[in-house]
Structure 1
Amino acid sequence: MSTVVNIGFADYLQISQLYADYARVVDSGDWDLWTEFFIDDCIYKLIPRENHERGFPLATLFFESKGMLKDRAYGIRETLFHDPYYQRHVVSAPLVHKAEAERFETEANYAVFRTKLSKESTVFNVGRYLDVIVRTPTGLKFASRHCVYDSEMIPNSIIYPI
């Protein structure tokens, strides 16, 4: 288990705001804005807990650049056909495990609820974010975001980012 480090209030507030803004944008379905939370040479991975803990590389979603994220955003908007649904994120306060002048390693728990248009809301995905956040001229951005989900059972399709 990693140690939690203390950082200044301004940095912690910016990290917390990054998490809140990310959840708001993903929940709103603004996929073009979603890609702007990442640096160009980023990693976004949705991976089961067992694979993560064993060091296995197999992930449900694995994107290795902002360009790949933009392709996914295009696919969501233009080519993927699915029953529409809303999702809502509940994210814990972030923990900071490592802090350097331009880089932070952070973690936060998440729960994503899904609501199909004519059905009740259900728990969709639960896990934790393991992030590397870097300072850029336009603010904090994700260099990597690993969404490590707890359940071995997931719906047969995950369309939207977690």
Structure 2
Amino acid sequence: MDGATQLRALPEDLALRVAVEDFYARYVEIANDPLRLEDWPELFTEDGQYRVLPQENWQQGWPLALVRAESRGMLKDRVAAAQGINTYTPRVMRHLVSNIRCDRAGSGEIETKANFAVFETMIDEPSRVFATGVYRDRLIEDTDGLLRLQEHVVVLDNDLVPNSIVYPL
């Protein structure tokens, strides 16, 4: 696409980008707030999928995931597990999402790609990098007009997995 064509396409593309960035801002607000963590599954469609896998598995097309949930009900189980861990060792999780790319796909879907970093701070320890990688997601506009994740694929930069990977990435 040349520069002039990009400028003519800007308003629609810009509206899409703003909507997707707003979605990720909402995602991060919920994932970072232990009092709102129960709302996290609502960011997914009823049959929404959540997978966390190492980069090598993604690149090779291997289906093996470190974490896999295939419905909102399974995501609610993950939230219960995360809340249980926070009871024993209080911590603060901080998500950063950047370099968001989005494109409309068929059937009203939006394909997105974004870099992420998650930091963990234990109450009596310095902050540390918890995980970094790339989100490769499919969003849809649900009947209530909100964007929801049909598929949230978290591709980790390395194979080392934090002990408390029950937290949403």
Common fold, TM-score beyond 0.5? yes
Provide structure 2 residue ranges, at least 5 long, that are not aligned to the other structure: 1-8
Structure 1 counterpart of 2:147: 140
Q: Deviations over 1:12-66 (max 9, x none)?
A: 2111100111011100122221011000011100111111111111111100011
Structure 2 counterpart of 1:50: 56
Which structure's CA Rg is the greater one? 2
Residue pair 1:48, 1:148 contacting (<8 A) in 2 also: yes
TM-score under structure 2 normalisation? 0.85
Residue pair 1:97, 1:107 contacting (<8 A) in 2 also: no
What is the CA-CA distance between 1:79 and the residue it aligns to? Answer: 7.5
In the alignment, is residue 66 of structure 1 matched against residue 66 of structure 2? no
Structure 2 counterpart of 1:38: 44
Structure 1 counterpart of 2:113: 107
- Give the CA RMSD over aligned residues: 2.0
After the TM superposition, which of the residue ranges 32-41 and 82-91 deviates more from structure 2? 82-91
What is the CA-CA distance between 1:100 and the residue it aligns to? Answer: 4.4
TM-score under structure 1 normalisation? 0.88
After the TM superposition, which of the residue ranges 98-107 and 113-122 deviates more from structure 2? 98-107
- Among 100, 112, 134, the residue aligned to 1:94: 100
After the TM superposition, which of the residue ranges 121-130 and 82-91 deviates more from structure 2? 82-91
Q: What is the rounded CA distance, in whole Å, between the counterparts of 2:104 and 2:24 in structure 1?
A: 17
Moved over 6 A (4+): none
Q: What is the rounded CA distance, in whole Å, between the counterparts of 2:86 and 2:62 in structure 1?
A: 28
Residue pair 1:130, 1:147 contacting (<8 A) in 2 also: yes
Cα distance change on mapping 1:9 and 1:100 into 2, 3 Å? farther
